[in-house]
Amino acid sequence: MEIAVNKWRNFSGKVFNEPITTIVENAIIKEQKAGHRLKIYVGSDSQAYKTHVAYGTVIVILREGKGGFMFIKNEKGTTKIGIKERMLREVALSVETAYRICDLLEKYKIELEVHADINTDARFESNVALKEAMGYILGMGFVFKAKPYAFASSSCADSIV
């Protein structure tokens, strides 16, 4: 599958040229100096169009009791992909992103959750990928959350796809 990759940006549109590790570390240092306790959530979502599939990945940084902000990255893939493969591609994007920043989170003692935009209710189409997604995320050593608790993917990433 061919994927066109865009750079990381914030919600107001500022584009970053640095690696995501530098972007996140700078944010952590700034927020911790301001006295904030942080928690980080990573999630992805996708939307199928006639000509392509749009993917969005977010890193949500929440300040305990003080709101939060996120870093965003969009990608584009081909449309010839089934629902299960598309859900697992979303999970792979989230796991790849979480893996890139996990050393920082250990260094600064910040909790991380990986969110999957997969419904736990078997009546929904996305449920076909639940077991594989959960196994992949947990197998990589991350905390796993699915709908309705997966706000990073089902709300934040959904808003940027």
Confidence of residue 101 (pLDDT cuts 50, 70, 90): very high
pLDDT at res. 127: 84
Average pLDDT of the residues in 86-102: 96
Which tokens go with 19?
């690696």
Task: Using DSSP bridges, classify how beta strands 143-147 and 111-119 pair: parallel, antiparallel or unpaired.
Answer: parallel
pLDDT tens-digit map of 13-50: 999 999 999 999 999 999 999 999 999 999 999 999 98
Strand residue runs (E) in 2-156:
4-5, 9-10, 38-48, 53-63, 68-77, 111-119, 143-147
Q: Say if residue 1's pLDDT is above 70.
A: no
Residue 90 is inside which H or E element, if any?
helix 83-107
CA atoms of 75 and 46, how far apart (whole Å) = 9
Q: What angle do CA 18, 23, 27 make, to 5 degrees?
A: 155
Average pLDDT of the residues in 94-113: 97
What percent of the chain is predicted at pLDDT more than 90?
80
CA atoms of 117 and 41, how far apart (whole Å) = 13
CA atoms of 93 and 45, how far apart (whole Å) = 9
Q: Say if residue 91's pLDDT is above 60.
A: yes
pLDDT at res. 5: 57
Fold topology of 4-160: Nucleotidyltransferase; domain 5 (3.30.420)
Q: Say if residue 3's pLDDT is above 50.
A: no
The phi, psi pair for 104, rounded to 5°, reads -65, -40
pLDDT tens-digit map of 111-159: 999 999 998 888 888 888 999 999 999 999 999 999 999 999 999 998 8
Quote the pTM value. Answer: 0.92
